[in-house]
Amino acid sequence: MIKLHEVHKVYAQGKIGFHALKDISLFFEKGEIVSIFGPSGCGKTTLLNIIGGLDTPTTGEMVIDNKLTTNFIEKEWDYFRNHRIGFIFQSYNLIEHLPIVENVALSIKLSGESHKVSKQKAIELLKKVGLENHLHKLPGQLSGGERQRVSIARALINDPDVILADEPTGALDQKTGNEVMDLIKSICADKLVIIVTHNKKLAKKYSTRMIELKDGKVISDTSPKDKKVDIILDRQKNKKKLKFREALRFSFYNIKGKIWRTLFVALGLSVGVVGLILIDSFFNSIRIGLEQENAILVNNPDVYIYDEYDPSFDPIDYIDTIDDYGYFREVLYTPRNAFSIQRNETLNTDLLYPISNRGIEAPTSRSILDTFTKMIGNSKLPSGDNEIAIHVDYAEQLVSSSLNLTKSELWDEIKGNQYLIYNEFEYYPEEYSMYVKFDNETCIKTEEWDIENGTPPINYDATKLGTITQNMALLSEYRSTPIVSSNGGYIFCEEYDTLGWYQDLSSPKGTGVVVTLVGIYDNDLFTQFILSDNIILAAPYQKEYINPEDEPDSVISSGVRVRAFINTDDIENKAKIITRLESDGYIVLENEGDFGLLGTITTVFMYIIQFIFSSIVSIAIITGGLMLLLILFISIIERKREIGLVRAMGGTRGDVRLIYSSETTIIGLISGFMSVIISIVLIAILNIYIYNNYLETVVQYLPFVDPKEVLTINFSKLVYAIIGSVAIAFISGLIPAVNASRKKPIEALRNE
């Protein structure tokens, strides 16, 4: 039941008002088919819009089932339009990008019904109107009569009490118009049907009641009715609303219809995100490299273990003894013996400045081999006897500095060359103050010589330190000849067991070993010569005496050294292991170096640089967001009628916001996945390109970065990239979504 009492409607046109309806008082009941006719501009459509809740009277009252609409809030009007009213429009007002089954189901979905139930009801109604074979066609693929049938099915989906038809046959030929009116009459027999039409003949044929309007007034009514009503003040409550997944489905069809525009918008938004991923991948590689270096040096940790020299002790047994503790992943045996490259056997030339260092055997475990990722070119670690690998710093000393070679050119220049290595040397004293001048085969200390008189000091016992012959015999263990300087010959006079001695790498002894250079590397953890096991073990053990007064923390009369990686990441366990080794007589020194502080400073610096670059690239993201904002505002203009239709079917402001927000969510997802795919492809291409064209630069300036993966993806960040893209798109769409939801139904429907 609908009752209108003294309804007036005035439209403001500047300072002038247009009186569209004047003093309309009408009463409608269920079961009537009412035709409202009259000339154009007489107020027919305005009256229909007021009855349907699309417009409100300027003055007067309308009562719907004893409820006074004057007091209706917006949500009550939304409920009324969704549950009580079904609209059939002259221009069909179908949503062009939705299949007809979705067009019909939309109204019931706005009331909160599930997709399965709403689709089933839509199919049943489309069968009733004879369109069961066109369920998934778009409106543009149907004829005018078929489109109007879809409109009728949509009006009936929520089983409303009132059907409002605005010129339902106005755009149809006579035959099709009669078919549509027959259909309305047959399936709406138990409802109140109000039809606005220009066709008086058609109105007489199908109506039970005819109302004529002229100049906004009712001038005739074939069946005038009225009834006293009791007003109920209870508000209508409707807690159901459009489900988010249905809003996504609705948005998906719209995006599908504008796929290229959507892809370009998503691409524009993804450009900035791709830039951030690339920047993060580069700095991620640096961080990983620094962390690995730090983990090897500190967290793993790396120690040197010393033991005193025992000529009868086999070094292999020594290593096995340490391994028996079960603490070590890898032990690199290093005898306290130096090696010196003296000659290029391939070119048959002596080196102007021999290259000296201590050697280590080639590592075998995976954890140690993984640290040798900076091998230059096709070089490798020693795998057999008489092979050697050296650090790039030493390799550069094997060629003339005037050549100014890159690292790969350096390797090409010297790879496969054979070199003579000496491993037995003369010794020199720790302090030259222990030199004494000899005269008449008598050893006299320099500090006791009377410079002014040129005579030995008084009370000096010349026999205490022995003769030259005696001294040379004692010194022969360290040197085969005296040390000679420009000031004359010098020998040593001292208690020899307390002297400090170092190997004189410029004075080799023996025949040496010829080795083939198989690799050069740029790894800061290992700067020694890397030799095969047999070469190391074949080297004679040299005694090295260190004065305990000068270096009390490094008292090693002679012996061997191993480099070990303790198999624990727990600081407390590490301390227990070292304490146990020391209690068994070993000397343990940690090899942490200065990398911890350097790594920390470098890491902080990298974060600062990354922040600067990311801030610059963020401009692209902001630009993409603004572009999306603009596109969505344009979309509102394009889809005003669609927004009005959703509101006319009872969609709330929240439903409209949800539809637009779900659309931006989909665009954000597309942009996010597009960013991820583009980034993965670009990073793969860039890594190959950099490795093939800038390998030397990377190895030189980023020695801790794997040259094959200068850009390393942090896959957890890709998830953040997708989430971020969705968030940016969602935020960009908030203003357009709110703006769209504020459109009044009647204003939006009028905007063609």
Examine the pLDDT at 389 and tell me if it is beyond 80.
yes
- Picking from 328, 332, 325, 309, the residue whose alpha carbon sits closest to that of residue 583 is 325
**Averaged pLDDT, 321-343:** 75
Q: What is the pLDDT of residue 751?
A: 53
388: β partners: 517, 531
Break the chain into its structural domains and give their ranges. 2-241, 254-295+598-750, 302-336+545-591, 431-499
Q: Please tell me which residue, 322 or 608, carries the higher pLDDT value.
A: 322
676-717: per-residue pLDDT in tens? 899 899 989 988 888 888 877 776 677 667 777 888 888 888
pLDDT of residue 476: 65
Question: What does the radius of gyration of the chain's CA atoms come to, in whole angstroms?
Answer: 48
Mean pLDDT rounded to a whole number for the chain = 77
Going by pLDDT thresholds of 50, 70 and 90, the confidence category of residue 250 is: confident
Nearest to 375 by CA among 358, 363, 359: 363
Confidence check: pLDDT of 516 > 90: yes
CB neighbourhood size of 405 (10 A): 17
pLDDT tens, residue by residue, 288-303: 776 666 665 555 556 7
Angle between helices 100-109 and 144-156 (to 10 degrees): 20
Least confident segment among 110-124, 139-153, 175-189, 319-333: 319-333
Alpha helices for 129-164 (secondary structure H): 144-156
Fold classification of 302-336+545-591 is: Alpha-Beta Plaits (3.30.70)
* pLDDT for 550: 44
Task: Look at residue 413 in the predicted model and tell me its pLDDT.
Answer: 92
Name, in order, each residue with C-beta under 8 angstroms of 79's C-beta and a sequence gap of 6 or more: 236, 238, 650
- For the record, the structure tokens of 108 come out as 């019931």
Q: Chain-centre distance of CA 471, in angstroms?
A: 74
Q: Please, which residues have CB within 8 angstroms of residue 36's CB and are 6 or more apart in sequence?
A: 44, 47, 48, 194, 195, 196, 197, 211, 212, 213
Confidence band, pLDDT 50/70/90 cuts, at residue 547: very low
Helix (H, G, I), strand (E, B) or coil at 285: helix
Q: Give the model's pLDDT for residue 596.
A: 47
Q: Which residues contact 171 (CB under 8 A, 6 or more apart)?
A: 90, 91, 92, 144, 148
CA nearest 660: which of 752, 555, 740, 580?
A: 740
What is the arithmetic mean of pLDDT over 2-9? 90
Q: pLDDT-based confidence at 448, cuts 50/70/90?
A: very low
SS3 598: helix
Asked if pLDDT for residue 314 goes beyond 80, the answer is: no
pLDDT confidence of residue 420: 93
Q: In 3D, which of 533, 571, 733 has the Cα closest to residue 636?
A: 733
Instruction: Judge contact between 306 and 509, C-beta under 8 A.
Output: no
Domain 2-241 in CATH 3.40.50.300? The answer is: yes
pLDDT of 318 higher than 50: yes
Quote the pLDDT of residue 514.
92
pTM value is 0.56
Phi, psi of 735 (to 5 degrees): -65, -50
- The answer to whether 701 and 272 are in contact (CB under 8 A) is no
The Cα–Cα gap between 525 and 531 comes to 16
Per-residue H/E/C for 514-564: EEEEEEEECCCCCCCEEECHHHHHHCCCCCCCCCCCCCHHHCCCCEEEEEE
